[in-house]
Chains A and B, each alone.
Chain A
Amino acid sequence: MTGAGESGAGVIRTRALTKRYGSVTAVRSVDLEVRAGDRYGLLGPNGSGKTTLVRMLLGLVYATSGEIEVLGRRMPRHAREVLPQVGALIEEPAAYPHLSGRTNLALLDAAGPGGLSARRTRKRRVDEALEQVGLGGVGRRPVKAYSLGMRQRLGLAGALIRRPKLLVLDEPGNGLDPHGIRDLRELLIGLNEAGVTVFLSSHLMAEVEQLCTRVGVLDAGRLVLQDDLAALRAPTGRVMVDTPDADRAVALLDGQVERRDGDQLLVRPVVGDGAAGDAAGLNARLVEAGLRVSAIGPHQRTLEEIVLSVTGTGSDHVGESS
């Protein structure tokens, strides 16, 4: 991967990262690890510390204790070297409302280090970034005339304008309609395939499930889970059966049905017993017995089930507070 550092290609790494605001601990002892090429989704209810964590990574909020490394360099000490390679969207996008989107991007581009030397390529990069987020034809309208979704796209364009190696996006789907969400997903996957590591925070599990390769779950400031999505969602060895003859199926599979929900059964097939312990074997057995099967397949937990199983019930109260 592109210059992610020599030490095991860690793009973001924190050790025992903690932030206290007075007596409130917003983030406690988080060991985050985002590897080069990851599409990392940080999940957690509102108020679980996602935004504080993201702001610490970017040097906006200073940690109370612990260490942060981004692209192989310590933050916030090396912000000047690290941040030019990072594109960021932090909570809502922001722009100067009386200026056009194009002018806003140009000003943002000119503000950072190398702002003068980047002048020659600026117009092209601004056009390119606007094109990437689907704002190519937006022209000279001032930002105050933009819709919420357009502002979000403009914010994303701002994150892309310096062609970063790492994207840090806090709730990037906010304000986007279903079309916008799909465009965003395709854009991020495309960038990721071109070598950009994507780190995003969200409270929308479906969004993360469809986009990310790796997830972390924050609950009341603690990182309670961090793993590859594929590992988390590995088949559980159970079979989901959907059958209109659910009563007869329960009788037939005596003791093997773990859960019943209307016509849906969660079955743990017993190996042997004249059948293999998989969906195909179970299907053959049900059909042989004259039962109708409308759907059958190996059971996988949804991300939602996984997240809810590791977050405490108390977090719901925090979650609903915003």
Chain B
Amino acid sequence: MIRVELVKLFRRPRTWISLVLTCALPFIVAIFITITHLAPPPGQGSAFLSAVLQDGELYPAAALALVLPVFLPVAVAVVAGDSIAGEAAGGTLRYLLVRPVGRTRLLVAKLIAVTAYVLSVVLAVTFTAYATGVFLLGPSRAAAVGQAPGGTGGLPGGGPGIAGQAPTAGQAAGGAVTSLSGAPLSLLQLTERIGGAIAFITVSMLGVAAIALFLSTITDSALGSALGALAALVASEILVALNAATVVQPYLPTRYWLAWIDFFRQPVFWRDIQRGFGIQAVYVVVFLAAAWANFSTKDITR
């Protein structure tokens, strides 16, 4: 069944189109930076972008930071939201179930397919960005990760945050980047840290996928469940940026989304990374349980 789901996923044109588009954005950004040599000043724009002119090998991290806020969640929500609702709307769900495929088994297979999709997108972005970085921006010159151009020292308090996540990155950035700026990372270390970042981002996206999958068992509209999941993320982003909502912030799904940046500090700043893994695990478990409870008792009338 898992193999069947993977075949269905990867024989679908949409899968490849979204993959290519997600990889294309960092590529386009890299072209502009190469031509103009105008990286955003430190502390502004997307994370790591200010550093990539010095160090092309760091471009995978910059690319992940570029696609994380919008591209990745949209792609994941669409694929996960489609998983059950799309089959229901197309009528194929009932034929799978009378084949018979157990409902729990189907849900698990869908989850694994979505995970495979998330991993492929993240890995594809990483590898294309590495190639782009090395060939377009050139390999490491300063060999100092996070070194700000012009030797102005560490990133100021604003940090490499994107609007909405500024608190996450900001807090940590203020203290950590300075020490990081002087410490060179070997290629092995860089690889390890990118691996950690990939794992973290994948788990974060699984949180999104779990929400979309749950909604997908409720409605027969693939679009509805994808948009529902995105609406939840937007709401979370708004609350994360809202000082008045400090009480709930540690429990919001997007609160620690950018914590993977901490993998690139020397030493790795673990606190937010651990919290991020924890909160995403809770979201995944809760929403998958809800999806299972709903789907396994549901009358299939489509």
A positions within 8 Å CB-CB of B = 55, 58-62, 79-80, 83-84, 86, 88, 90-99, 103, 107-108, 110-113, 115, 158
Closest to A91 in B: B91
Partner among A92, A97, A113 whose Cβ is within 8 Å of the Cβ of B100: A113
Q: Which residues of A contact B3 (CB under 8 A)?
A: 110
B95 contacts A90, C-beta separation under 8 Å: yes
A108 contacts B11, C-beta separation under 8 Å: no
Closest to B109 in A: A111
A107 contacts B98, C-beta separation under 8 Å: no
In the assembled complex, the Cα of A88 lies from the Cα of B3 at a distance in Å of: 23
Q: Which residues of A contact B299 (CB under 8 A)?
A: 55, 60-62
Partner among A61, A84, A93, A112 whose Cβ is within 8 Å of the Cβ of B301: A61
In the assembled complex, the Cα of A93 lies from the Cα of B3 at a distance in Å of: 23
B99 contacts A60, C-beta separation under 8 Å: no
A90 contacts B98, C-beta separation under 8 Å: yes
| B residues 1-50 in Cβ contact with A at 8 Å | 1, 3-4, 7-8, 11-13
Partner among A58, A61, A111 whose Cβ is within 8 Å of the Cβ of B1: A111
A108 contacts B99, C-beta separation under 8 Å: yes
A111 contacts B98, C-beta separation under 8 Å: no
How does the 8 Å CB contact mask read for B259-298 relative to A, with 1 for contact and 0 for none? 0000000000000000000000000000000000000010
Q: Which residues of A contact B12 (CB under 8 A)?
A: 98
Interface centre among B8, B91, B95 (most CB of A within 10 A): B95
In the assembled complex, the Cα of A83 lies from the Cα of B99 at a distance in Å of: 6
A60 contacts B94, C-beta separation under 8 Å: yes
Closest to A86 in B: B98
B231 contacts the other chain (CB 8 A): no
B positions within 8 Å CB-CB of A = 1, 3-4, 7-8, 11-13, 90-92, 94-102, 297, 299-301
Q: Which residues of B contact A103 (CB under 8 A)?
A: 11
- Compute the total of residue contacts between A and B using a CB distance below 8 Å: 75
Q: Which residues of B contact A59 (CB under 8 A)?
A: 97-98, 100
What are 9 A-B pairs at a CB distance below 8 A?
A55-B300, A80-B102, A88-B95, A90-B94, A94-B94, A94-B95, A96-B92, A111-B1, A112-B101
Closest to A19 in B: B299
A92 contacts B91, C-beta separation under 8 Å: yes
B297 contacts A95, C-beta separation under 8 Å: no
**Given A62-B299, A98-B11, are A80 and B100 also a contact pair (CB < 8 Å)?**
yes
A55 contacts B301, C-beta separation under 8 Å: yes
**Given A98-B11, A111-B4, are A84 and B95 also a contact pair (CB < 8 Å)?**
no
Q: Which residues of A contact B97 (CB under 8 A)?
A: 58-60
B1 contacts A60, C-beta separation under 8 Å: no
Closest to B1 in A: A111
Q: Which residues of B contact A92 (CB under 8 A)?
A: 91
Partner among B91, B98, B297 whose Cβ is within 8 Å of the Cβ of A88: B98
Minimum CB–CB distance from B274 to chain A (whole Å) comes to 39
A115 contacts B94, C-beta separation under 8 Å: no
Q: Which residues of A contact B91 (CB under 8 A)?
A: 91-94
**Given A62-B299, A96-B8, are A84 and B94 also a contact pair (CB < 8 Å)?**
no
Minimum CB–CB distance from A57 to chain B (whole Å) comes to 10
In the assembled complex, the Cα of A112 lies from the Cα of B102 at a distance in Å of: 9
In the assembled complex, the Cα of A80 lies from the Cα of B105 at a distance in Å of: 12
Q: Which residues of A contact B1 (CB under 8 A)?
A: 110-111, 115
